[in-house]
Structure 1
Amino acid sequence: MTQHAARPGRHSANREAPSQASGQSDANGASTRKTASKTPGIKPISKANLMVVPANGALNASPARRSATDKDVPLREDIRFLGRLLGECLREQEGDATFEVVETIRQTAVRFRRENDRAAGAELDRLLKRLSRDQTNQVVRAFSYFSHLANIAEDQHHNRRRRIHALAGSPPQDGSLQHALEKIDAAGVTGKQLRKFLDEALIVPVLTAHPTEVQRKSILDAEREIARLLAERDLPMTARERDRNTAQLRAKVTTLWQTRMLRDSRLTVADEIDNALSYYRTTFLHGIPQLMSELEEDIAAIFPASRKTKGAAAEAAPLAPFMQMGSWIGGDRDGNPNVTAETLDHAATQQSQMILGWYLDEVHALGAELSMSTLMVDASPELLALAEASPDHSAHRADEPYRRALIGIYARLAATSKTLTGHGAPRHPVADAEPYSSAEAFAADVQIVIDSLRAHHGRALASTRIDALVRAIAVFGFHLASVDMRQVSDVHEAVVAELFAAAGVEKDYAALPESRKLELLLAELRQPRLLTLPYHEYSEQTRNELAILATARELRARYGQRVARNYIISHTETLSDLVEVMLLQKEAGMLKGTLGSKTDPARMELMVIPLFETIEDLQNAAGIMQSLLDLPGFDSVIEHHGVEQEVMLGYSDSNKDGGFLTSNWELYKAELALVQLFEQRKVKLRLFHGRGGTVGRGGGPTYQAILSQPPGTVNGQIRLTEQGEIINSKFANAEIGRRNLETVIAATLEASLLPQQNAPKELSTFEGIMQQLSDRAFGAYRNLVYETPGFKDYFFATTPITEIADLNLGSRPASRKLMDKKNRRIEDLRAIPWGFSWGQCRLLLPGWYGFGSAVKSLLDTAPDEKARKAAVATLRKMVKTWPFFSTLLSNMDMVLAKTDLAVASRYAQLCDDAALRKNVFARISKEWHLTCEMLALVTGHQERLADNPLLARSIKNRFAYLDPLNHLQVELLKRYRSGKDGDDIRVRRGIHLTINGVAAGLRNTG
């Protein structure tokens, strides 16, 4: 796997020079051993064509002297370099013959894709069909790993470009905190107003485990190390250091090749918990405190009046921990029978063990760093008292109170870890000590150290590691992240029905009308007694659901209230769906007081959060929430939660239900209706966005997504899911991860404090047009997916959905219900594998279908050409002035750029019914061309991604390496489904490997 040789005039720093160990480079960057000359089409080049660039050239080159083309040279060089290492590894591990097969396929694919050579396409097809089963898997692995390595190179290039801009003193970029604060300052917001806003804000990325993460943790760990080593190459290096770096990279690439890419067994919930926790040490534990510190510095600089001054000293006021972390892993039971009370307890314990271990490491490091002696500098009385209370009585440290205090803190923290998790400290404490009763008590001791340093000429020391530690404690506590619980409403109904029946209250609760259900539920909530009978034998489902809540209650007592504070009800369709969970909380001892009582008002430990998913649910959302707020006595529940109520919006099912355009529009309208309701009731609304990876599931750039929210819907309160392989693409690299967190904060600030940017003057007109587009797109989408005879059979035949369900991607099944071939329905399929499958066959249909028909139909209603031109002008104005609409089309533009009808047509051949195949694919193809045509008409851009040429080039370059994977996937699916090779483990593994490779190449697939 190699690319063309580097050109003269390179600008990157310390690029690979030929070394004696690896041999000289040929025209494709491959090692030129004696056998290489036998490889057809590979010509060696001379040393004269290779250049060594001065150290640090990439970072020190003036941006003004670099053309738009030049700035991407380091990226291309990194891709060539990593490709060369992969090629060398392939030759070494599998032999010259395999290398030549892969290289011939690569060259043919590149010629076919980039030169539009039809003969090359036919040749590529012949080459791939002649491969043996073993060769097939080797080719698939090679192209898959190249996609992985290209992703690493792109991430590094993004980091490099940001650093170049920073070194050049360029203005702050969109999405940066500094840019957001400058805009807020220009809008007249004062520093005092900003700080008050941040004191009440809450921003929570929520990590979820969904069946689209196709990489093993071992692969992720190796790729993180490759990213680190690649970043080193932009630093000044001696020849020996460069050679050592190259050797380490070669070793890591070899590790990748020799590591099993896929799991032999299905991922467990415990595995998912471990995978998610690995991102904390990489990104979150350092990144969030760093962002909080930088935000304080920027506020102090841009809003100088907000500084607190004491004499000559000036100190920025500490910010509240407005950014926190959430997780569904271990608590999300919707459709996943593998999540139980035990997994919830395991998740909380593992999280606590992770954060306490990190605290112990940091305190230990501080003990080594803070060596100040009272012979040199004084310390505060509080610090001296803390030192005296320490179990450390060594005469060697008698004059080092900071060290003694920190040794005491370490001992208490070690005892805390033992008490909470059962695990002691990695380094034994000096002596036993009392555990901390809370994270706040731990933070108070650390603050004593900081205050003493600041008061005694140690301000520089107080602003380093220990400052980050105290910020981390405020954010992560002893729990690390809040674990949400989630279950589908049908399960709650079944459990409540069983409780009522066993207690003799109602024999068939589920069959009652909504009004009667509410009557029974509210009456029971006013009763002081419990429904649950101590000696009755309940069903396994009821026992499990009650056990989950009992475990949540225990965890809150152990780790603090933030460890579990949200309960999400999937498919919320009625008010009773919410009240049922209130009753279940009462049964678990989590509802104190009595609903409606003035003397002992109700206080509920877990916030009951509806999840509105389908189009109909979104349309009913405001009405259901109004009914909830109207419940007698519910005002005390709201008050207990800080006069806040969260509502979750589902992007996935609404898209599968109504299509891309209608889903986004109904989400927009639901948000506006909810804002209006909550403003009337003077209750703070927090929206939880269930975004996925694909555009069809709410994916796309987070910064633009938040800014495009309807006016008033953010208001400093936002939670959003980060799912599947998107977690890796966003947070595996520390710099990329920090940047993603920064953009979420920046966008939240701008959307909350600059709401006028989201409200064009013609908004009501725009919304009316959008409704017409939505109605037309909904009709087109529903007609294809739900009204076309045989469409479900076409989908199951022409996508790898069945094989995806079989792949060991996650702990959750691909469908909420077991499906056989006769009874399978698209309605029962989870939205995630639905979108994932369309990505694999390169149609990405959920991200665009219906738009073309909608726009054309709208324009066709114009009475004459003048009216039609006026309608087009209005649509173009919508793009320019309405962030919601422009973001919608920008995301669709990206999806259309990633689709490929030629590749998709090969998947269509998997459908044996020729008439069905011809009908459905022709309709999809026609709509795709119409959508591209209408998008060009509305935006004025004929080319895809005209506003994002870097992404356009990236996608175009990737296609040549995705083509072989897609071609082979189709061929393997044919073999597997024919029955002849169905039991061949190599064929099944090959299919799964292609799924991995295509997902890596497309990046946002799940």
Structure 2
Amino acid sequence: MSEATVDVADLHAPDDRESENPLREDIRLLGRVLGEVIGEQAGADVLDLVEATRVEAFRIRRSEVDRGELAERLAGLEPREANHVIRAFSHFSLLANIAEDVHHERRRRHHRREGSPAQPGSLAASLQLLDAADLDPAVVARELTGALVVPVVTAHPTEVRRKTVSQVQQQISDLLQRRDTDDPAWSAHLWREVLTLWQTALLRLSRLRLADEIDEALRYYDLSLFQVVPEINAELRQALQQRWPDAGLLATPMLRPGSWIGGDRDGNPFVTADAVRRATTSQAGTALRHHLAELVCLADELSMSDRLVTPTEELYALARAASDDSPFRADEPYRQALRGIYRRLAATALWVLGEVPGPAPDAVLPAYEAPGELLADLETVDRSLRGHGAGALADDRLARLREAVEVFGFHLCGLDMRQNSSVHEEVLAELLAWAGVCEDYLALDEPARVALLTGELQLRRPLVRPDAELSELARGELDLLRAAAEQVALLGPDAIPNYVISMCESVSDVLEVGVLLKEVGLLQLDAAGRPTSPLGISPLFETIEDLQSAGATLAAMLDHPFYRALVAARGDAQEVMLGYSDSNKDGGYLAANWALYRAELALVEVARAGGVRLRLFHGRGGTVGRGGGPSYEAIRAQPPGSVAGALRITEQGEVIAAKYASPHLARRNLEALVAATLESTLLDIEGLGEDAEETYALFDDLAARARASYGALVHETPGFVEWFRAATPIRELAELNIGSRPPSRKAGDKITDLRAIPWVFSWSQARIMLPGWYGTGTALESWVGDSPDRLAQLQDLHARWPFFRTVLSNMGMVLAKTDLELAARYASLVPDAELRDRVFSQITAEHERSVRMLLAITGDDHLLADNPSLARSIRNRFPYLEPLHHLQVEMLRRRRGGDDDELVRRCIQLSVNGVATALRNSG
């Protein structure tokens, strides 16, 4: 096959390893059970239709028949028949996903049993690398000062899976893992779960509310995080202290969870003052419920009698303070002490929540005012146990609870606040006018704004009274910030640690937030006039231009005396957030990735010069077009100095379920974050050496070429927006009940008005995946030209530079999921034939270039040579996508042609769900 006619289906290497047999057997079993359920529930005719379609879909993937025949046959189905087929293949995809996940864990267990070498991305492998590097303890101590890894859970406007469906999936997964048991009821149990799945609606009747998103995120704590986060922190602390006992490492937990759900109001009108209270209170309730339940279990377990052991006097003091006069516990001081601890924590819960999330105490004791007080009591129990030879008991549940209290406190996780700089600007203009300070703040230039804001920040008085008559926007923002101040006062500064400014472009953008925080008491002046705040202010750089000027913007911020004093008050630490989604939508895949890399280099240099410790917050999504891809490789691909012991990273939507639905998944993914952070901080990973500046200049050139190519299509091609809206289901996404946040920031028909998430999601549905590759082929091909030396230079960089290797690897993953034959069927929905062909021909030509250049640089003969797991996954799952795409296109055609049948609309929504399920990282 010539390079000009590369077909993605032929680019995946065969994989006939014997180790994959259990996976194939699981998929066959689940498919057979689903078929039996369909036959019983929907009838033989439906089963025959589904089975015939399945056989045809697999023959298409093997290139035995033309897919046009299947498309034509499916186009003739009535909506009810189409509905059955869509549901069946959505469930096939979902069950194949379950089988894959079970197989991954099966292989991991096998490798552990066989004593295989530690896998890259595990703590064990990273510690081996650190040992081999023979690091100076002083360097380790310096670099890991304030070490922090924070996965930040965010709501996702394209999360399609219902909680109910996820729960059934988990049941099926548990059953598959017990497949080899002798339980005679196992098959019947599996059949019932698949039946439940078939009879459960895949679509929600109503759009998710923000409260639902908060609750959905919190359930992952019980599923995995309460167990795994403390375990990893304890193991990591022990491992590092063994290696560098005098370095004073990790005085506080390195791994801590975070959240945006309920605090991110950029474009989300549902994030209000009540939402902030709901989010922080629900989080606190989850933490306190966990701690209280563990105390109950501890009291049951620690039954030691002081007739047999001798506790410490401090333990007896705790027991006496408990006021427990039960004669049954008269000789059981640990149980008495733990009842007292429970009563105090219950009083804390009553104070914070207004209720006790557990058994009501039978006596009232003073509440704990801070987690440190609870920890001190638990440490008293620990010391006493060790004093009479019960260290094994201290190292069990008690140790886990101590770790949990240390990391989760009473607040569970930090809730970030986020708002767009344009909103701050508008609100502050109104407040300044109301107070008579400035009639037209918006008319001021940047120096005048900075001077005015600096003056305001040095005054202790607020701008407005609580009863001031303000616009709905200004009142809402102030009420929300007051709610945040209340929750910080109630739960402590860890409850709301950061304020993120979207579209931050200047010093005034940062100072505006400072004034608003001062207005509600979240920024104050001490007796000497120095500013303090429990919240860190984090600029978010999102567009290509903002990323390119990020270093200069941060330098200007740190040159401002008042703001620099605020940073000093927070330990000379400054967080900066980097946006992957909007930069990609703005400039394309390669240009965005390089702009981010360059921005990080500049920010590192500015932070060093300014004497501050930089922490980067990576706003990555699930897809490559939004910064997605394997986290371990992504972190290792960061530029030198940009990780520096600290990392915050967003986790979104379907990615959350894929990473945290079970303890083994959570452990694997959280270990990868920590491991990559350690390696990037303590080892020289970039590997460019003296070639760095030359390489950077080369990629400046490549990025400019890629951006020009991308912009020529997306921003300059006449009719492109019309083409995009016709050829993808972007319009229909608004009808799906898949998130609380609107798909667009504001009403409008411009690409810039559309959120990056539905932008990427729509391209995924149409199997074009354009945000993950477009423009890169042109950039690489035009730079290389006919020069073997230039190609060799890129091949060398791919071999030794993690950044370039990760960029191409992720692009290969996206190209492997692209299917331009299916995409052509979506393009057929564009009514203007000339526009249809003009745009699609540009897309197909660039796709050919991208595939060709990627293979030339990597030296591989197929796209997924470095990712056999995904290659196998595509073989297993993608045949189930075939009928979903054909039916989605047909139903879109009918709906847009005026067919108002409710079943047609439901078929579209179900097909969107099914495609997203099979692709796994769709938005």
Same fold by TM (over 0.5)? yes
Matched residue, 1:455? 387
Match of 2:5 in 1: none
Q: Secondary structure of 2:89's match? A: helix
1:488 paired with 2:427, answer no
Instruction: Give the superposed CA RMSD.
Output: 1.7
2:144–2:250 Cα contact (<8 Å) kept: no
Which runs of 5 or more residues in structure 1 are unaligned? 1-66, 309-315
Aligned to 2:80: 134
1:306 aligned to 2:306?
no
- Counterpart contact for 1:612–1:648, Cα < 8 Å: yes
Shift, 1:719, TM fit: 0.3
Question: Aligned runs of 1:262-411 on 2, under 5 Å?
Answer: 262-299=203-240, 303=243, 306=245, 320-411=252-343
The one-letter code sitting in structure 1 at the alignment partner of 2:188 is A
Alignment partner, residue 550 of structure 2: 621
Q: Are residues 961 and 68 of structure 1, via their aligned partners in 2, closer, same or farther at CA, if it must alter by over 3 Å?
A: closer
Provide the secondary structure at the position in 1 that maps to 2:204.
coil
Partner of 2:847: 928
Post-superposition, which runs of at least 4 consecutive aligned residues in structure 1 deviate over 3 A?
Answer: 190-199, 296-301, 316-319, 756-761
Instruction: Report how far residue 430 of structure 1 moved.
Output: 3.2
What secondary structure sits across from 1:755 in the alignment? coil
Q: 1:567 to 1:317 in 2, by over 3 A?
A: closer
User: Of residues 40, 48, 52 in structure 2, which corresponds to 1:100?
Assistant: 48
| C-alpha deviation, 1:756, in angstroms | 4.7
Instruction: Say whether residues 1:81 and 2:20 are aligned partners.
Output: no
Counterparts of 2:108 and 2:732 in 1: how far apart (Å)? 40
- Cα distance in 2 for partners of 1:540, 1:124 equals 55
The AA in structure 1 aligned to 2:189 is Q
Aligned: 1:850 with 2:797: no
CA displacement 1:769-817 (0-9 Å, x = unmatched) = 2111111111100000010000000000000001112211111000011
Q: Tell me, in whole angstroms, the C-alpha distance in 1 between the residues paired with 2:82 and 2:137.
A: 62
Question: What SS does the corresponding residue of 2:561 show, helix, strand or coil?
Answer: coil
Question: How far apart are the structure 2 equivalents of 1:985 and 1:264?
Answer: 13
- The 3 A distance-change label for structure 1 pair 306 and 536 is closer
Alpha-carbon distance in 1 for matches of 2:453, 2:916: 46
1:1005 aligns with 922
SS at match of 1:568: strand
Q: 1:969 aligns with which of 876, 888, 902?
A: 888
Report the secondary structure of 1:464's partner residue: helix
Using the TM superposition, give the Cα deviation of residue 953 of structure 1 relative to its aligned residue in structure 2, in angstroms.
Answer: 1.9
Amino acid at match of 1:818: A
- Identify if the C-alpha distance between structure 1 residues 431 and 131 changes in structure 2 by more than 3 Å, giving closer, same or farther: same
Quote the Cα distance in structure 2 between the aligned partners of 1:156 and 1:376.
47
CA distance in 2, matches of 1:493, 1:92: 62
Answer whether contact 2:382 2:394 (CA < 8 A) is retained.
yes
> Match of 2:154?
208
Compute the displacement of 1:391 (Å): 3.1
Distance across 2 between alignment mates of 1:756 and 1:71:
33
Matched residue, 1:261: 202
- Between the two proteins, the alignment pairs up a number of residues equal to 909
User: 2:6 corresponds to which residue?
Assistant: none
Change (3 A) 1:637 1:775: same
Give 1:942's aligned residue. Answer: 861
Q: CA deviation at 1:319?
A: 5.1
| 2:483 partner letter | T
Taking the aligned partners of 1:349 and 1:285, their CA distance within structure 2 comes to 18
Picking from 784, 803, 807, the partner of 1:884 is 803
Residue of structure 1 in register with 2:528 after alignment: 599
Cα distance per residue 1:251-300 (max 9 Å; x no partner): 22222211121111111100000110111111111111111232244446
Secondary structure, aligned partner of 2:494: helix
Contact 1:203 1:719 in 2 (8 A): yes
The aligned counterpart of 2:185 is 244
Among 513, 520, 534, the alignment partner of 2:452 is 520
Q: Structure 2: how far apart are the matches of 1:986 and 1:421? A: 45
**Cα gap change, 1:226/1:191 in structure 2, threshold over 3 Å: closer, same or farther?**
farther
Q: CA offset at residue 219 of structure 1?
A: 1.2
Aligned pair 1:530/2:462, yes or no?
A: yes
Separation in structure 2 between the aligned mates of residue 765 and residue 172 of structure 1, nearest angstrom: 35
1:143-175 deviations in Å (ceiling 9; x for gaps): 111211111111111111111111111111101
Shift of 1:233: 2.6
Q: Secondary structure at the match of 2:205?
A: coil
How far apart in 2 are the matches of 1:196 and 1:224? 43
Say whether the 8 Å CA contact 1:709–1:884 is kept in structure 2: yes
1:429-457, Cα deviation, whole Å (9 max, x unpaired): 23222221111111111111112112211
Find the residue that maps to 1:210 and give its secondary structure: coil
Higher alpha-carbon deviation: 683-692 or 598-607: 598-607
Where 2:778 maps in the other structure, the secondary structure is helix
Taking the aligned partners of 1:401 and 1:207, their CA distance within structure 2 comes to: 41
**1:632 aligns to 2:561 (yes or no):** yes
Match of 1:994 in 2: 911
Measure the CA separation in 2 of the matches of 1:720 and 1:317. 22
SS in 2 for 1:306: coil
Pick the aligned partner of 2:832 from 913, 927, 946. 913
Letter in 2 for 1:163: R
Distance 1:940 1:609 in 2: 42
CA distances 1:540-584 after superposition (whole Å, capped 9, x unpaired): 110111111111111011111100121111111221111100000
Q: Quick check: 1:763 aligned with 2:692?
A: yes
Q: Which residue of 2 aligns with 1:825?
A: 750
Say if 1:664 and 1:122 are closer, same or farther in 2 by CA, change over 3 A: closer
State the alpha-carbon separation in 2 of the partners of residues 264 and 491 from structure 1.
33
| Secondary structure at 1:154 match in 2 | helix
Equivalence for 1:699: 628
Structure 1 position 191, deviation (Å): 6.2
Report the CA distance between 1:99 and its aligned residue: 1.3
Partner of residue 9, structure 2: none
Correspondence 1:795 to 2:742: no
Instruction: Say if 1:161 and 1:720 are closer, same or farther in 2 by CA, change over 3 A.
Output: same
Please give the alpha-carbon distance, in whole angstroms, between the structure 2 residues aligned to 1:559 and 1:109: 55
Work out the CA distance in 1 between the residues paired with 2:602 and 2:246: 39
Per-residue Cα deviation, 1:647-700 (whole angstroms, up to 9, x for no partner): 000000000000000000000000000000101111000000000011011000
Q: Deviations along 1:623-652, whole A, 9 cap, x unmatched?
A: 111111111232321122111000000000
Structure 1 range deviating more: 191-200 or 425-434: 191-200
* Paired residues for 1:951-966 under 5 Å: 951-966=870-885
Whole-Å Cα distance in 2 between the matches of residues 246 and 400 of structure 1?
48
What displacement does 1:225 show? Answer: 2.1
One-letter amino acid of the structure 1 residue matched with residue 815 of structure 2: L
- SS in structure 2 of the partner of residue 205 of structure 1: strand
**Deviation larger for 644-653 or 733-742:** 733-742
Q: Compute the displacement of 1:199 (Å).
A: 5.1
Separation of aligned partners in 1, 2:136 and 2:342: 41
1:671 paired with 2:590, answer no
| 1:1002 maps to amino acid | L
TM-score by length of 2: 0.96
Partner in structure 2 of residue 34 of structure 1: none
8 Å Cα contact 1:353/1:423 also seen in 2: no
Unmatched segments (≥5 aa) in structure 2: 1-14
1:483-882 alignment runs, 5 A limit: 483-593=415-525, 599-819=528-748, 824-860=749-785, 868-882=787-801
Cross-structure match for 1:42: none
Identity of aligned residues (%): 50
- Following superposition, the deviation at residue 90 of structure 1 comes to 1.4
- Secondary structure, aligned partner of 1:522: helix
Who is 2:3 aligned against? Answer: none
Residue in 2 that maps onto 1:38: none
For residues 188-235 of structure 1, give each alpha carbon's deviation from its aligned partner in whole angstroms, at most 9, with x where no partner exists: 12567646654520110000002111111111122122222222235x
How far, CA to CA, are the matches of 2:687 and 2:397 in structure 1? 40
Contact map agreement 1:292 1:319 (CA 8 A) in 2: no
